C-alpha cells in the first residue's frame, strides 16, 4: 500500500515531539507500506530549519534517519 507522509509526522520524529514513538513505529513498517513525502513537505521542513539557522542539521537528516 502507498502512503503519503504528512509533514507533521516527519517533524514529530525529528523534533522528538509527543507521540514521535508512534510515528517512528509507523515508518518502521516499510515492508507493509511504500512511503512518500511530497516535495512541498520537504521544502516546508527545510524552510523551518533554515530559518532556525540549523542548515547543517537539515542536510544531515537523510543520513541520520535513513530517508
pTM of the model: 0.65
Q: At what angle do helices 55-65 and 7-14 cross, to 10 degrees?
A: 100
> What is the pLDDT tens value at each position of the chain, 67 positions in all?
898 999 998 888 888 888 889 888 888 877 888 889 898 998 898 898 889 888 888 888 777 666 5
Q: Angle at Cα 30 formed by Cα 27 and Cα 32, nearest 5°?
A: 115
Residue 66 is predicted with a pLDDT of: 62
Q: How far is CA 57 from the centre of its chain?
A: 13
* pLDDT cut 90: percent of the chain above it: 12
Amino acid at each position: 500500500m502507498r502512503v503519503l507522509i504528512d509533514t507533521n509526522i516527519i517533524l514529530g520524529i525529528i523534533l522528538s515531539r509527543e507521540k514521535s514513538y508512534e510515528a517512528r513505529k509507523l515508518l518502521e513498517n516499510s515492508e507493509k507500506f511504500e512511503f512518500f513525502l511530497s516535495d512541498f513537505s520537504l521544502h516546508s521542513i527545510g524552510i523551518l530549519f533554515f530559518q532556525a539557522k540549523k542548515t547543517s542539521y537539515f542536510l544531515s537528516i537523510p543520513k541520520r534517519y535513513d530517508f
